[in-house]
Amino acid sequence: MRRLSSGCTLIFAALLAVAAGGCSDSAREEQPAQVRVSGLSVERVTLSSVPELFEATGTVKAKNAAQLAARISATVSEVHVREGDLVRRGSLLVTLAALESTAGASGAAHTVEEALARKRLADVTYERFARLFQEQAVTRQELDTRRAERDMADQSLARAREAARAAAAVAGYTRITAPLDGVVTARMVDPGSTVFPGMPLLTVEEGGKYRLELAVPESLQGKVALGTSLPVFLDGDSRTVTGKVAEIVPTVDPVSRTFTLKLDLPAKGLRSGQFGRAQLRVGESQGLLVPQKAILERGQLTFVWVVDNGNIARMRLVKPGTVSAGRVEILAGLSVGERIVVAGMEKVTDGARVE
């Protein structure tokens, strides 16, 4: 029985060996050949100077803008423009109805006419008495009286004309005209509205000239100089525009502890009120910089292709940081001395041999 059992055991072991050999041969036949890629550009990761950037936020505003307000109490008779309309300097925008102002101007003009008539009569009378005085037909006292009447008429006419100019100016306040070439960006009144001195009516902005006004922490004062060019990113605009520091307002807001930085924006197609961000270079540090084109994304993954010491390409997840001049700081995922693929990434698969 033991011999029979031993024989069966030997036969079973032999069968297992044969089966294992068959499976091993099958596995070797099914295993695909290793992918080989060539024509790649590989770069070694090194320490570089990384700019320290601060992102300041702000609002786009027109470089030149005018808010037009009423200067008298009146009723809006007509509004000649709508928001978005282009206007020329001097064009009529709003007409106000102010009966008191119109009546005052008319009355002042009538007063001037009366004063002018009295002045002419006083001049003629004085000249006639001057001739009579030469003929000794009137006394000096009578001549002096006529001279005084003439002088008083002169003064009355001057006062009447000054009052007429003032009344005409007030009457002119019923016509609101554009102070500059631009676009109407805000309209606060409609026909029939009652307005009072100082009440805003319209806002006109000069088109094509805009600024980004940034709120910058006071700790960064002195880090940015006039004339510095900064990259600017605007919401709703895929472009990156260049802003130039045109004005630094050193006064610090006591609540926010920030000062104002104004950047000129030469790009067209901007709008007042746009939200903008600008990157301020405030220092430097050491870090790992790689070409921006070497960083790939697949779904939610951000990675690079790393070539190991055996020239095998491996996917490596990385954490990118600041982007500057076409290079990206890597905060995690790479070490100094490692090699990454910087061109030809579309050819690479995980585990491929790089030749």
DSSP state letters, 8-59: HHHHHHHHHHHHHHHHHHHHHHHSPPPPEE-S-EEEE--EEEEEEEEEEEEE
pLDDT over 90 (residue 207):
no
Question: What is the residue whose two structure tokens read 């190991």?
Answer: 308
Per-residue confidence (pLDDT) for residue 24, from 0 to 100: 44
Mean pLDDT across 100-116: 67
pLDDT, tens only, 157-191: 888 777 777 666 666 788 889 999 988 989 999 99
Per-residue DSSP letter, 349: -
* For residues 9-29, average pLDDT: 40
Instruction: Give 165's DSSP letter.
Output: H
> What pLDDT does residue 37 have?
81
pLDDT at 241 over 90: no
SS3 content of the chain, % helix, strand, coil (to 5): 30, 40, 30
Per-residue confidence (pLDDT) for residue 47, from 0 to 100: 87
Q: Binning pLDDT at 50, 70 and 90, where does residue 284 land?
A: confident
pLDDT digits (tens, 9 = 90+) for 34-59: 788 888 888 898 888 887 888 899 99
Report the mean per-residue pLDDT for the chain.
81
Residue of higher predicted confidence among 2 and 35: 35
Partners of 43 in beta bridges? 340
- Confidence (pLDDT) at 191: 92
Rounded CA gap, 134 and 31, in Å?
139
Structure tokens at 304: 């690079």
* pLDDT for position 124: 85
pLDDT attached to residue 321: 85
How far is 135 from 127, CA to CA, in rounded Å? 13
Pairwise CA distance, residues 216 & 279, whole Å: 11
Question: What string of DSSP letters covers 89-125?
Answer: TT-EEEEEE-HHHHHHHHHHHHHHHHHHHHHHHHHHH
Nearest to 241 by CA among 261, 265, 210, 214: 265
Give the pLDDT band (50/70/90) at residue 22: very low
CB atoms near residue 318 (< 10 Å): 22
Q: What would the pLDDT profile of 129-151 be if each residue is shown by its tens digit?
A: 888 888 888 788 888 888 898 88
Asked if residue 143 lies in contact with residue 129, where contact means CB atoms within 8 angstroms, the answer is yes
Residue 83 has pLDDT above 60, yes or no: yes
pLDDT at 23 (0 to 100): 42
Q: What is the mean pLDDT of residues 273-297?
A: 88
Residue whose structure tokens are 């006529």 = 146
The yes-or-no verdict on residue 25 having pLDDT over 50 is: no
pLDDT at 82 > cutoff 70: yes
The answer to whether residue 68 scores a pLDDT higher than 50 is yes
Whether this model's pTM surpasses 0.85:
no
Q: Give the list of residues 6+ apart from residue 314 with CB closer than 8 angstroms, or none.
A: 305, 306, 307, 308, 350, 351
Tell me the percentage of the chain whose pLDDT exceeds 70: 86
Q: Is the pLDDT of residue 12 over 70?
A: no
Q: How many CB atoms lie within 10 A of CB 71?
A: 19
The secondary structure of residue 126, as a DSSP letter, is: H
Domains of the chain: residue spans and CATH: 50-62+209-354 (2.40.30.170), 71-97+173-207 (2.40.50.100), 99-169 (1.10.287)
**pLDDT tops 90 at residue 262:** yes
